[in-house]
């Protein structure tokens, strides 16, 4: 009996690992299959029972794709998965039109479920892969996270203000200042000099 169980366990573990490595598409597939196979009423609302069935299959898919994370989540050791659920709900809420039929054909709504799958991949790497949230890319916008904003470029500094050039003080029209300083007394003394010369001739 033990010899029969061992190969089955090994196959299960290898299959689970392969699914995890490939990345899950559980949320996306459950949504698109519900859109393709469930009936809608005249107002575009999807049959509730049919939708719940595909939603349940999506949960089962997650458990099979991420067995380690599912176990951790069950024991409350994987808060990142709770965060993924909240991100998916917020994404759907922001894009819903009020008509399930319209939402099924909304590319942005479909991308919400793809984002949910990428978020589950990142959460699994944190909860069972030993990675930090940063290493797993859990805060990346592609998985609904808020990555730190890109650093803003410093504003360009204005060109330096060149002070106005002050022209040199204008010189008097009579000539340079040194002429006034040295020649001024000569004009005053000249008459006295001439008068002295005349007196010497007498």
Q: What is the pLDDT of residues 182-194, one digit of tens each?
A: 444 444 444 444 4
User: Across the chain, which distance is largest between two alpha carbons, in Å?
Assistant: 161
Decide: 143 and 86 in contact? Cβ < 8 Å.
Answer: no
Query: Mean pLDDT of all residues in the chain?
Result: 75
Whole-number Cα distances in Å, 57 to 30, 63, 69: 7, 10, 17
What tens digit of pLDDT does each residue of 98-141 get? 999 999 999 999 999 999 999 999 999 999 988 999 999 998 88
Determine, yes or no, domain membership for 155: no
Q: Give the predicted TM-score (pTM) of the model.
A: 0.61
Residue with tokens 């366990």: 9
Decide: 66 and 20 in contact? Cβ < 8 Å.
Answer: yes
Tell me the residue range of the domain where 102 lies. Answer: 24-143
What tens digit of pLDDT does each residue of 58-82 get? 989 999 999 999 998 888 899 999 9
Q: How confident is the model at residue 144 (pLDDT cuts 50, 70, 90)?
A: confident
Q: What is the pLDDT of residue 45?
A: 95
Determine, yes or no, domain membership for 193: no
Q: How many domains does the chain have?
A: 1
Determine, yes or no, domain membership for 67: yes
């Amino acid at each position: 009996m033990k010899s029969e169980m061992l190969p089955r366990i090994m196959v299960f573990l290898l299959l689970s690992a392969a699914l995890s490595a490939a990345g899950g598409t559980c949320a996306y597939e459950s949504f698109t299959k519900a859109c393709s196979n469930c009936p809608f009423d005249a107002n575009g609302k999807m049959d509730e029972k049919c939708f719940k069935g595909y939603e349940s299959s999506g949960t089962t898919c997650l458990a099979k794709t991420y067995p380690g994370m599912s176990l951790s989540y069950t024991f409350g050791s994987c808060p990142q998965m709770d965060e993924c659920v909240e991100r998916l709900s917020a994404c759907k809420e922001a894009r819903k039109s009020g008509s399930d039929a319209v939402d099924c054909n909304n590319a942005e709504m479909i991308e919400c479920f793809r984002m949910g799958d990428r978020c589950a991949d990142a959460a699994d790497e944190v909860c069972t892969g030993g990675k930090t949230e940063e290493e797993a890319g859990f805060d990346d916008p592609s998985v609904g996270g808020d990555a730190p904003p890109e650093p803003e470029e410093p504003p360009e500094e204005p060109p330096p203000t060149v002070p106005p050039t002050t022209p040199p003080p204008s010189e008097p029209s009579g000539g340079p200042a040194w002429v006034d300083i040295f020649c001024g007394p000569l004009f005053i003394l000249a008459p006295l000099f001439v008068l002295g010369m005349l007196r010497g001739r007498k």
